Chain A
Amino acid sequence: MDLRRATTYLCVALTTLWLAPSAWATLGETADSIAKDSNALSAATRTTITRAKYAMQVMKSETTTVREYLTPAGVVFAVAWNGVTHPDLSVLLGCYHEEYRSASAEQQRVQGRRQKQVRSQRLVVESWGHMRNLQGRAYLPELVPEGVNLYEIR
């Protein structure tokens, strides 16, 4: 577990050193990446809501809302969205995007379905819903603070 967590932080460090400022990676990063996100996602408004075990930053545009969930230490452990489109996951997942992409590519397409779940070693990405209200979330199970019910992440 410690090793996994170390990998997570390594991912952050790599992003910060090598990819910034052109990439807006956020999952697993600290809160200051959110300002970059709201630009990349053309968000019109941004608000912060503080709950007992985490804080939530909400970015709203005319068509899509993205919520980023922060640990008390300020690290983004989950993102959730809803709107007319899915947000650009390469922005929200940052350096986890490649891991998501390869896990997603291995998954067989199932027709007739209005949902998808992709699980990789460190990441869970789920989408659900219908036209004009597509919903989804991505989270790092290892970083979800103790006592937070996944049901709240949506």
Chain B
Amino acid sequence: MKFASVSGLWALLVVAAMAGCGGGGGDGGGSTAPAPTLVSITVTPANASLEVGSTGQFTATGTFSDNSTQNLTGSASWSSSATAIATVSDDAASKGTVTAVSAGSAMISATVGTVAGSTVVNTSVAGVAANVMPVTVNGSLCAASSYLNKPCVSVTVCNPDLSACQTVNDILLDTGSFGLRIFRQAIPNLALSQVASGAGSLTGCVQFADGSSLWGPIQRAAVKLGNEPAVQVPIQVIDSSFGSLPLPCTNADPSPVSSGFAGILGVGVLVEDCGPGCVITPSNGVYYRCSGPICVGTTVALADQVQNPVARLPEDNNGLMVQLPSVPVGGVPSLDGSLVLGINTRTNNTPASPTVFPTDANGDIRTIFNSVNSVGFFDTGSNGLFFPNADPAVLPVCPPPNNDWYCPPVTRALLATNVGNPGSPTQIVPFNVSNFFTLVNSPNFVFSDIGGPSTFGFDWGLPFFMGKSVYFGIEGRTSNLGAGPYVAY
């Protein structure tokens, strides 16, 4: 919520009133009732938003043991958890006046004696939409040695009480997973809050389809996406030295160099990384309870599972849009796009009239290519178009060790048909595949026309997103495009 700045003058009056009350004391008149004591302090407005450079007046209200309340703004001692983001005045003439210094979130506290209360203030730069996160494909947000077609974003992770924050680049934008995972090496200055599992520490093992895995403790953090208010969510702190590695995570990545990213932001159409299966069975292979070096499988409530932080935003929580400019055949060196949070919640995320493909419970649709119908999914975390049933005369596979890619003699213009769940709508998607060697021997690093074979289904990787606005509707949420889960473009 926004609020107008008000004069701090009245605060003086409060101070005067307090002084007037204070002298009277309990020593007169033989009253036997003890003086009411201060029990708690509430700071308002809660979760306020301020634009950088502007100020706002905060109020501290004390609740006493006799349930009476009193305005304590003028007598409280005021402080901010992050003065680089927002300051709060403790001068007698302007107590509780908050000034937004830079974009972020800070905790504003008011203390009287041993009683304290606090609230969060979210600050943003005027004229910059709070729900837009820049995406660079092999650009400034990616580490220097990144692999081709890698989309990167920047995420700010804070201690739950906002006492410290760290902004981390080289976070892989991934619509094929759910939740935020960051290497411990990338957030050395943070002290996040460990999620408990019985008497132990909740720890996660996530496997990927390439056989790699990530292991580490599940901790609560305040996560800031763009200039949205910080959301409190469980994230995975990737740390292969934590506890001991269970069987499914024996090859857990030890460092950003091995994974190819400092972290991964999973913003696909589902909310949790495991879902109901991990609520029911302890031998789920994903969640473990670690006590010292001993880690055993455990059940986990949905609320404690690592989850898509977009689903936890106060307003823009019904989905997101990935927007990338088009890329010509042959590629470009790098590409700037955006991740826009929310669907039809603001003027900048109102869809024209995309085709909406409801997905199944896994986030999948069907894709028909060369007359064969197989499972299809939309994944910014895959760096090419990977699909089965190609005619080797049209799309020969490159010789080893590059047999992950197609090597047609010339660029092939191809068509596939996407089919929503459970059978409509259908739409034809044109795409190109060029010779892998021709592409990678150019100075370019971002390609719309790169692909390789798959033996299962159609993986619409990053090239699919170029030149499109692709909407991901989160399960259990609705927008003008319908009820999630769906993908629309």
Contact = CB atoms under 8 A, between A and B. Distances in A.
B277 A84 contact: yes
B42 interface: no
Contacts of A109: 210, 212, 258
A135 B209 contact: yes
Contact of A126 (B178, B259, B364, B456): B456
A112 B147 contact: yes
Interface stretch (B11-19, B93-101, B114-122, B380-388): B380-388
A130 B404 contact: no
Interface stretch (B75-83, B102-110, B266-274, B411-419): B266-274
Given A111-B260, A114-B176, A84 B457 contact: no
B459 A115 contact: yes
Interface residues of B, number: 54
B164 to A, nearest CB: 29
Contacts of B381: 112, 114, 130
Given A111-B260, A130-B209, A151-B372, A84 B382 contact: no
Contacts of A135: 209, 456
A113 B401 CA distance: 15
A128 B455 contact: yes
A64 interface: yes
A151 B284 CA distance: 28
Given A42-B283, A132-B363, A110 B210 contact: yes
B157 interface: no
Interface in A58-96: 61-64, 83-86, 88
A143 B382 CA distance: 33
A63 to B, nearest CB: 4
Interface residues of A, number: 35
Nearest to A61: B281
A116 B275 contact: no
A16 interface: no
B150 interface: yes
A114 B382 contact: yes
Contact of B147 (A42, A64, A111, A151): A111
Contact of B285 (A84, A131, A151): A84
A150 B210 CA distance: 20
B449 to A, nearest CB: 16
Given A128-B456, A130-B363, A134-B207, A112 B260 contact: yes
Given A112-B383, A151-B372, A62 B209 contact: no
A131 B285 CA distance: 13
Contact of A63 (B286, B382, B454): B286
Interface string A111-154: 11111110000000011111111111000000000000011001
B362 A133 contact: yes
A116 to B, nearest CB: 5
Given A62-B280, A128-B457, A113 B285 contact: no
Nearest to A83: B277
B273 A116 contact: no
Contacts of B286: 63, 84-85
A47 interface: no
A107 to B, nearest CB: 9
A22 interface: no
Contacts of A64: 285
A38 interface: no
B278 interface: yes
A114 B268 contact: no
A113 B456 contact: no
Given A114-B386, A135-B456, A127 B210 contact: yes
A131 to B, nearest CB: 4
Contacts of B455: 115, 117, 126, 128, 150
Given A63-B284, A114-B386, A85 B248 contact: yes
A86 B386 contact: no
B488 interface: no
Given A85-B248, A114-B210, A134-B207, A128 B273 contact: no
Contacts of B150: 111-112
A114 B379 contact: yes
B284 A154 contact: no
A62 B278 CA distance: 8
Interface in B247-272: 247-248, 258-260, 266, 268, 270
Interface in B333-373: 362-364, 372
Contacts of A83: 277
A111 B208 CA distance: 11
A69 B209 CA distance: 22
Q: Which of B147, B205, B260, B456 has the most CB of A within 10 A?
A: B456
A135 B374 CA distance: 13
Interface in B305-325: none
A146 B41 CA distance: 77
B187 interface: no
B404 A110 contact: yes
A85 B284 contact: yes
Contacts of A128: 209, 454-457, 459
A113 B404 contact: yes
Given A61-B277, A127-B209, 10 more contacts: A61-B283, A63-B281, A86-B248, A88-B247, A112-B260, A114-B176, A128-B456, A131-B266, A132-B270, A151-B372
19 contacts: A84-B278, A110-B404, A111-B259, A111-B260, A112-B149, A112-B381, A113-B383, A114-B379, A115-B210, A116-B210, A127-B209, A127-B211, A128-B209, A128-B454, A128-B456, A128-B459, A130-B209, A131-B266, A133-B363
